[in-house]
Amino acid sequence: MSHDRRASAISEGLFVLVMSAFLTLPAAACGLAMDRGAGPGASPSPARAGGRPRPNGSATGVVVSTVDGDTIHVRVGGGEEKVRLIGMDTPEVDWYGGRAECYGAAAGLYTRHRLLGRAVRLRFDSGLRDVYGRLLAYVYVGRELFNLTLVRRGFATNDPVPPDTRMETTFAAAEAGARAAGRGLWSKCRPA
């Protein structure tokens, strides 16, 4: 293992350890933040009511909270949207009572560390919302496509879900590179 790879692995391990300290909030309190404005009869956010997102369009906002590695809350258009990063999938976390998967907490902490409080640009593909009502987007921090960063660094796998497959070949190549290099979950988790 090269010195750079060893230093990177050590710094990622320390990052996960330090960020784990911030997960001491009760699950109920985290659940309240997740459910804000959701559910039957809830009025649509201003972002949904006016200035609706359009397929292949974009919007800008600020990340106000994170759910896990691939789901965030973004203040956009005067409202708050639950946004699912598309084209990839991170392992699940147990922070809200679910079943934890290998490297899920690391992915969730990395997303929180990189995105919380940051201005982002949301770029939409063909579909706008999933069956859970989440806005589907490629998330950019400056010029960086964060969805792709998660796959490249081994926090996520390629997961094309039609009709949002514009980046499928790019994400597949990034996953192959991460797997070959043994980055992230590819070095820590048993293949399914």
Q: What is the pLDDT of residues 88-109, one digit of tens each?
A: 999 999 998 889 999 999 999 9
- Beta strand spans in the chain (E): 58-66, 71-76, 79-85, 87-89, 119-123, 135-141, 144-145, 157-159
Domain total for the chain?
1
pLDDT for 4 beyond 70: no
Q: Quick check: is 134 catalytic?
A: yes
Question: How does residue 1 score in pLDDT terms, banded at 50, 70 and 90?
Answer: low
pLDDT at 6 exceeding the cut of 90: no
User: Is the pLDDT score of 39 beyond 80?
Assistant: no
Cα pseudo-dihedral 151, 169, 65, 78, rounded to 10:
160
For the chain, give the percent of residues with pLDDT over 70.
72
Residues 59/64/67/71 CA torsion (nearest 10 deg):
10
Q: What is the mean pLDDT of residues 165-190?
A: 96
**134 by DSSP, 3-state: which?**
coil
**Marked catalytic residue, from 48, 80, 81, 92:** 92
Q: What is the DSSP letter of 192?
A: -
CA gyration radius, the chain: 17
Give the per-residue pLDDT at 55. 86
Concerning whether 101 is annotated as a catalytic residue, the answer is no
Residue range 15-40: mean pLDDT, rounded: 37
Q: Which of 48, 112, 123, 134 is catalytic?
A: 134
Instruction: Report pLDDT for 72.
Output: 98
Report the C-alpha gap between 89 and 110 in whole angstroms.
Answer: 14
Helices 104-115 and 3-20, packing angle to 10 deg:
90
More confident call, 98 vs 58: 58
Taking a C-beta distance cutoff of 8 angstroms, is the pair 173, 167 a contact? Answer: no
Domain enclosing residue 77, as ranges: 3-39+46-188
Please give the pLDDT value at position 54: 85
Q: What pLDDT score does 53 carry?
A: 81
- Residue 118 annotated as catalytic: no
Q: State the chain's mean pLDDT as an integer.
A: 81
Average pLDDT over residues 132-137: 96
Domain harbouring 119, CATH code = 2.40.50.90
Q: Of 48, 80, 84, 123, which one is the catalytic site residue?
A: 84
